[in-house]
Structure 1
Amino acid sequence: MKSKSIKKLYTLHSWVGVITGILLFVIAFTGAVSVFGRPEIKLWANPEIRALAPIDTIKIEQLIEEYSHKVPEHYKEEILVFLPAVRSSTKLFIMFESHHGELVDEAQVSEGEKPKHNPPVAAVYEFDPVTYELTDEKRGLVEELFADSKYDMSEFIVGFHADLHMGRPIGLLTTGVLGLTMMLSIVTGIFIHRKILAQMFTFRPRKSYSLMLNDGHKAIGVWGLLFNSVIAFTGAFLGLAIVVLVPAAAFVSFGGDQEKLIETFTAVPDPIIQNVQQPTAVAQSFDHILTLEDGLEVNTLTIKGYGDATAMMYFGASGGKKMGYQTIIYNGKGEFLKKNTTYQRLDGYAGIILDVMFPLHFGNFGGIFVKIIWTVLGIGTALLPLTGLMLWLERGVNAANPKYSLDTYQRFNRLIVGGCGGIVIATFLLFPSQMFFKYLYPVENIGRALWWPFFGSWLLVLFVASIAPCEKKVAKQLANITAFILLSIFPIDVVVTGLNLFTQWSHGQLVSLGIDVTCFTLGVYLLTAIKKFDGVKNDVETHDVIVKTAQEGA
């Protein structure tokens, strides 16, 4: 490729990184943490479900039967069961739903008019996951019941990674576009670093600051090339699918009817009710699922036609041999019919590709070891734009004829330190904040309360970095604060829950124990890394002298 083309690609690569680098770090770093969002962080955040006994399937069957007599008949059109400690629930939820709303007395309908129904309504019963005692019940419109749902730090961090808490369509569109810009950076990076493979084993952290950034950026780019490409593509797809791809597909194939499109691929059909009473064998079906595959875990249950001879049960499950989410179907007698993934009904490879998008992006397959690998590689993905930004900044400051003033470079450096350092502190601050709002200052909806420490700390760090005279010192202090927060997570967990290392081990709470130990270890490692980093002074000192001289001259 000609040198002029290489130069243009380098310019494109640089500007894409400069414009989107901080946001890419934010998305990638929170994504690395979100890998453990469900169920690992969910279990840590809610000690009452850390060591639950196996699900009592007979008890669940009895509860469904008991409370089915406490709701109107049309509320039994669909029964949903959400199991605790699997994905997002901390309690057992049983919901009786009427898709057609409250029934209307036809005698009150004017002649010539069709009977109308209100929006879907439901009765939701909440049970303690240990004792199975009723703890709460609600009735009302389905959209209102779900809009008022409670959440905690696990949903908070996963939701932030998905759409920056900006909602649809703006949030998803933003993260989707960032996925596309990351793909563009990867492609242009491959072309401008043609000899990068020869340098993939070169890393000189002690020689100079610039060499450390240069070698680190190239090493992360090469060793994480496949992973970064997969994350960028799947992230772009998941972000843009609902906002762009679904409306486009609906326009082409369903006349613009998006609900019809989604129903075609995700809805479960209603059985033809025969009005022949027959007990629905919920417990028998539950127990049989465990014999189908090793590692298969039931998340939800949908029952259509409960108590009728034509009843059907649809179990939502994850794990097992397939990467995608599975639906396992039984009839009312508890006889296994079939199992399929969400998009298995599509012919060819399209269904397979769509099914693996979500688990491939979050590492939700292959168990805990895959998640660990995804998190480590995800941190590398976050460091890729960060090292690129710092390298661009370092070269600009030390250039013989800088493109911009030293003051401009310094302002941008402050933004990098505040934006990237702030999100790291805000993310880890969620751990002690979760325990604070759960035990010391209880609130009804912890997820909403977490907005204050998360965004408040991030904005505070941005402000401090913007007025600090020396960005290097601010970065070092932010690293020390991060280490302190990480070291404090284990002691805080012990103090507020009374569950120490030996107690968690003896009670089989290995997931929460693993998170505590990992955070503590990371805190120790970070303190050690800070001391080692102080030895890399050559270019940093030069940069500080230049900036200081420029400030004195001004």
Structure 2
Amino acid sequence: MAKISNRFWFMLHGWVSLPIWLLFCFICLTGTIAVLSHEITWLTNPASRALNPNDLPEKPVSELMTIVETAYPSAAVTGAMTLEPYLVNVVMFSDADKPFAMAYVNQYTGEIQQINEGMTFVGFIRSLHAWLLFPWQSSYSLGYYLVCSMALFMLASLVTGLIVYKRFWRSLFAPKLQLNQGKKTLLADLHKLSGVWSIWFIAIMAVTGLWYLVQAIFWHADIDIEPHAPLVAAEQLPFVQKSDAKPAVPNVSLTQALTLAQTRFPDFQPSYVMQPEHNRDMYHLSGSGDHIFYDQYSYNLSINPWTGEVASATSPGTMTGMQTLMHIADPLHYGTLGGIWTKIIWFIFGLILSGMSITGFMMWGLRNLRAFKNASVPNTATDLLEEGC
């Protein structure tokens, strides 16, 4: 009975992994590249590097946006992004000949190093990994569901693999890799050894992937995990005469809004800043703080541009359980919680996980190829009897 049970788990482990091995391997490889996508951009695009040879202090985001407004007087600057310290800041704007453009502005020198009007490598590789570039229809993408569903197969593969591989913990202390026992044995040892050392990583990928699946279902059902930012009350808007061709200028500048945000949250570091899009819109400020397990958007503030009132503010200390899951999933999934060193660790184990899908398929292929060859060998005695008849 024990042998039958073990055979069942072994077959289940194979079938939950192998039918989708090609797609799974592709998703693993693109995710592995996405982990170091910022660093790859730094290596391949000199204009993205925030060089600071004179050791200058970092300029505030509002000043960088003013630099772009000065360089492009007819442009509408909509927002800015702060990335890694060694990458330039990105200022988003639109102009008559540029429907959507991104200015790479060195936050130390204030120099505009490049204008990008297309998709960035970071945006491309993360979109390819997250939803396979499937189109978004309303609030859902079929590709996003497809990628997130891989978490179910990953979790099933982890559980069945641990059941099949008895006393798996021995490989942690006495790893075994037999190089001279044939291809099948070598592949099996590589697969088992990689799996045991990657248990923690597979578990993190599976759990965060399941959360992304839940998040996709929420989006599709129009269930908001975080509330929408409020609008400015109509009575708070300044009175503008019809004869006045100039739009009213907000009483509170972006610089003042950032100061208000840092007064509210002293450890606030802006990551994403959006200007008001219309007269009832607000400044939308997102950033990070001293919490390493939270993403760079864990602090969110909406500030009234007419009164300076902080209309809404959320931080790790005020989040609900669902909001907490939403903001810790990305650092765990992409390994950004510890900077470049955890990214490298995630990159290495991403390659290992990709290799496991390949070795698992090769083992399955060798086993089935051997079974096919055995089935195709004719039974000599039976053939002679048939010829005699």
After TM superposition, the score normalised by the length of structure 1 is 0.52
**Residue type at the aligned position of 1:218:** K
Contact (CA 8 Å) 1:172, 1:240: kept in 2 or not?
A: no
Deviation of 1:237 (Å): 3.5
Deviation of 1:213 (Å): 2.1
* Among 217, 228, 247, the residue aligned to 2:202: 228
Contact (CA 8 Å) 2:269, 2:289: kept in 1 or not?
A: yes
* Unmatched 5+ stretches in structure 1: 97-121, 138-148, 251-257, 409-554
In structure 1, what is the Cα distance between the partners aligned to 2:191 and 2:113? Answer: 55
In structure 2, what is the Cα distance between the partners aligned to 1:152 and 1:42? Answer: 9
Deviation of 1:41 (Å): 2.6
**Are residues 1:271 and 2:235 paired?**
no
Aligned to 1:129: 105
Aligned to 1:435: none
**Are residues 1:315 and 2:285 paired?**
yes
Deviation of 1:127 (Å): 4.5
Contact (CA 8 Å) 1:319, 1:365: kept in 2 or not?
A: no
Change (3 A) 1:304 1:407: farther
**Residue type at the aligned position of 1:23:** L
- Equivalent residue of 2:336, what SS? coil
In structure 2, what is the Cα distance between the partners aligned to 1:66 and 1:43? Answer: 27
Aligned to 1:83: 81
After TM superposition, the score normalised by the length of structure 2 is 0.71
Aligned runs of 1:150-165 on 2, under 5 Å? 150-165=118-133
Contact (CA 8 Å) 1:343, 1:352: kept in 2 or not?
A: no
- Equivalent residue of 1:211, what SS? helix
Aligned runs of 1:521-536 on 2, under 5 Å? none
- Equivalent residue of 2:372, what SS? coil
Aligned to 2:63: 59
**Residue type at the aligned position of 1:43:** W
Aligned to 2:27: 27
**Are residues 1:202 and 2:175 paired?**
yes
Deviation of 1:34 (Å): 0.8
Change (3 A) 1:342 1:166: farther
Identical pairs, percent? 21
**Residue type at the aligned position of 1:59:** E
**Residue type at the aligned position of 2:177:** R
* Among 205, 213, 216, the residue aligned to 2:187: 213
In structure 2, what is the Cα distance between the partners aligned to 1:45 and 1:359? Answer: 24
**Are residues 1:372 and 2:361 paired?**
no
Aligned to 1:417: none
Change (3 A) 1:406 1:298: farther
Contact (CA 8 Å) 1:265, 1:342: kept in 2 or not?
A: no
**Residue type at the aligned position of 1:272:** A
In structure 1, what is the Cα distance between the partners aligned to 2:375 and 2:326? Answer: 48
1:105-127 Cα shifts (integer Å, max 9, x gaps):
xxxxxxxxxxxxxxxxx976754
In structure 1, what is the Cα distance between the partners aligned to 2:104 and 2:80? Answer: 12
In structure 2, what is the Cα distance between the partners aligned to 1:68 and 1:133? Answer: 11
1:58-107 Cα shifts (integer Å, max 9, x gaps):
53464698899969xxx9xxx731236559997522469xxxxxxxxxxx
Change (3 A) 1:287 1:375: farther
Aligned to 1:36: 36
- Equivalent residue of 1:265, what SS? coil
Contact (CA 8 Å) 1:271, 1:304: kept in 2 or not?
A: no
Change (3 A) 1:287 1:373: farther
Deviation of 1:190 (Å): 1.6
* Unmatched 5+ stretches in structure 2: 53-57, 239-248, 377-389
**Residue type at the aligned position of 1:233:** V
How many residues of Structure 1 are paired with residues of Structure 2 in the alignment?
Answer: 343
In structure 1, what is the Cα distance between the partners aligned to 2:271 and 2:211? Answer: 25
Runs of 4+ aligned structure 1 residues displaced above 4 Å come to 60-71, 84-91, 122-128, 130-137, 287-294, 330-339, 341-345
**Residue type at the aligned position of 1:165:** L
Deviation of 1:50 (Å): 0.2
1:194-217 Cα shifts (integer Å, max 9, x gaps):
322234423224333333322222
* Among 165, 172, 181, the residue aligned to 2:153: 181
Change (3 A) 1:339 1:64: farther
**Are residues 1:340 and 2:301 paired?**
no
Change (3 A) 1:407 1:135: farther
Contact (CA 8 Å) 1:302, 1:313: kept in 2 or not?
A: yes
- Equivalent residue of 2:273, what SS? strand
Aligned to 1:391: 363
**Are residues 1:301 and 2:263 paired?**
no
**Residue type at the aligned position of 2:200:** L
**Residue type at the aligned position of 2:5:** S
- Equivalent residue of 1:267, what SS? coil
**Residue type at the aligned position of 1:166:** F
Contact (CA 8 Å) 1:175, 1:236: kept in 2 or not?
A: no
Aligned to 1:246: 219
Deviation of 1:391 (Å): 2.5
Deviation of 1:374 (Å): 1.3
Deviation of 1:305 (Å): 8.4
* Among 298, 312, 321, the residue aligned to 1:326: 298
**Residue type at the aligned position of 2:48:** I
1:290-335 Cα shifts (integer Å, max 9, x gaps):
79566x65232124488x8x98432122463151322342554778
